[in-house]
């Protein structure tokens, strides 16, 4: 079977089977090879157990429970999830093998691959990734939303899509720099949402399908919404908005953060930062220092109701607080 080619997060992916959630792209030299038919023959379970370098705490479900091991003298990582899905990643960030329980579906594999696994892969490749969502405003620029878990990053992205605005990416905002201009790369044409967010936006959780069997999150398919996804090119990043939820954000207005505070906020809100080694962390710190010097970072109260979401999206579409 010919490889399945797709573009996501600025990378050309080549898989041995079509990946649900991605549209095929023209063949080219792949940045990443994806093998969904099991681990390579040279991998031996008894000799390649490796050393655990990270594990999740207080996971809300088996799908969220994860551990990462360094194997083969650090040249590969194994990411293992509580439901039996496992991924072997080259430290170079150019190859991934997938295995799972008998009969696992391509949808389940893609849910991991196009989420946390590719987020880790991007970090291994030295790509700065904000843990947040990004949308297009004004036709030719992007704004990103970051914040703690539950702050509403994905909910805001979905609200923009439902208004007919374009979403670039959800959960992982991969950035590239061209001189003094920072750009957000298009991600995957889907927004992942908890039931309460779907109910807030669409009245009932059942308005959207589950991401895959056994998963608790649902997804909003942006590809089927026409203008709901901006896939053709990256857009310049015009601003980053740190969402302040709950009592801390109530009554507070937008506030542009000074450089030092902005840098601390973005360091806290990069993707998979717990797995960075010393060199990658140093490179990230330097990149983020350049980013906050070039792009304004704002603290904004997170919208908590549908009316607040509507007002928030309308204000951001008009140009935001700045």
247: CATH:
3.40.50
The secondary structure of residue 257, as a DSSP letter, is: P
- Please count the residues of the chain: 322
**3 state DSSP class of 264:** helix
72 shares a domain with 213: no
* Mean of per-residue pLDDT scores for the chain: 89
182 shares a domain with 115: no
Is residue 322 domain-resident? no
User: Strands 255-256 and 235-244: what pairing?
Assistant: unpaired
> DSSP assignment of 151-168, as one string?
SSHHHHHHHHHHTTPPEE
225 shares a domain with 98: no
Last residue of a domain, one of 124, 156, 177: 124
Q: Looking at per-residue confidence, does 237 or 25 come out higher?
A: 237
Residue 128: beta bridge partners?
175
Q: Say how many C-beta atoms besides its own lie within 10 A of residue 12's C-beta.
A: 16
Q: What are the helix and strand counts (H, E) for the chain? A: 8, 18
113 shares a domain with 28: yes
pLDDT digits (tens, 9 = 90+) for 254-282: 899 999 999 999 999 999 888 888 898 99
Q: Domain count of the chain?
A: 2
Range of the domain at 284: 128-317
Give dist(CA 177, CA 286) in Å, integer. Answer: 12
pLDDT digits (tens, 9 = 90+) for 287-322: 999 999 999 999 999 999 999 999 999 999 886 665
Is residue 262 domain-resident? yes
Last residue of a domain, one of 124, 155, 181: 124
Identify the H or E element spanning 313. Answer: helix 306-317
The model carries a pTM of 0.92
The alpha carbon dihedral of 250, 269, 34, 63 has a sign of negative
Residue 69: beta bridge partners?
52, 78
The reported pLDDT for the residue numbered 231 is: 62
The reported pLDDT for the residue numbered 252 is: 65
* CB-based contact 222:177 (threshold 8 Å): no
The pLDDT of residue 228 is above 70: no
């Amino acid at each position: 079977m010919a490889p399945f080619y797709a573009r996501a997060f600025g990378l050309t992916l080549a898989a041995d089977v079509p990946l649900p959630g991605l549209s095929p792209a023209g063949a080219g030299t792949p940045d990443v090879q994806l093998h969904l038919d099991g681990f390579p023959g040279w991998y031996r379970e008894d000799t390649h157990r490796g050393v655990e370098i990270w594990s999740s705490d207080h996971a809300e479900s088996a799908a969220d429970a994860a551990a990462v091991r360094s194997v083969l003298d650090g040249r590969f990582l194994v990411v293992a999830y509580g439901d039996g899905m496992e991924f072997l990643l080259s430290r170079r960030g150019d190859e991934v093998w997938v295995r799972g329980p008998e009969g696992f579906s391509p949808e389940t594999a893609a849910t991991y691959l196009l989420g946390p696994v590719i987020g880790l892969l991007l970090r291994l490749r030295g790509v700065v990734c904000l843990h947040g969502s990004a949308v297009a405003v004004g036709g030719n620029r992007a704004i990103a939303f970051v914040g703690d878990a539950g702050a509403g990053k994905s909910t805001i992205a979905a609200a923009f899509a439902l208004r007919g605005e374009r979403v670039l990416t959800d959960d992982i905002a991969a950035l590239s720099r061209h001189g003094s201009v920072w750009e957000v790369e298009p991600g995957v044409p889907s927004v992942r949402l908890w039931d309460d967010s779907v109910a807030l936006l669409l009245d009932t959780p059942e308005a959207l399908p589950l991401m895959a069997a056994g998963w608790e999150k649902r997804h909003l398919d942006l590809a089927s919404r026409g203008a709901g996804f901006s896939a053709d090119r990256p857009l310049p990043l015009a601003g980053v908005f740190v969402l302040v939820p709950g009592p801390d954000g109530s009554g507070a207005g937008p506030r542009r953060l000074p450089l030092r505070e902005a840098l601390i906020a973005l360091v806290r809100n990069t993707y998979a930062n717990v797995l960075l080694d010393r060199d990658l962390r140093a490179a990230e710190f330097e990149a983020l220092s350049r980013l906050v010097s070039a792009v304004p970072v704002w603290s904004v109260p997170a919208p908590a109701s549908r009316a607040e979401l509507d007002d928030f999206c309308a204000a951001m579409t008009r140009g935001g607080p700045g």
